[in-house]
């Protein structure tokens, strides 16, 4: 109910990917590259493995976007 209305903030996918770079993921605290790089890397890996499944490429790109909620007070 809290997030269903999307009334807290509206952002593009690119804006959320940029925000991801501001956080340190507790599951990978020692990674030296931005979190957005992981999203693009995942999407590209899926594209190479499954070139005919464009929906899957998109899922690879979006799979970690929810982590941005930590910047708005949610726990990781």
Q: Which residues are annotated as a binding site for Fe cation?
A: 38, 63-64
Show binding-site residues: 38, 63-64
Query: Cα torsion for 30, 42, 68, 62, to the nearest 10°?
Result: -170
- Give the CA count within 13 Å in the CB-facing half-sphere of 65: 15
């Amino acid at each position: 109910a809290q997030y269903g209305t999307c009334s807290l903030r509206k952002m593009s996918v690119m804006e959320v990917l940029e925000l991801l770079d501001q956080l340190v993921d507790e599951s990978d605290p020692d990674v030296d590259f931005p979190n957005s790089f992981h999203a693009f890397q995942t999407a590209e890996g899926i594209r190479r493995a499954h070139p005919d499944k464009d929906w899957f490429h998109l899922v690879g790109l979006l799979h970690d976007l929810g982590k941005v909620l930590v910047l708005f007070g949610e726990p990781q």
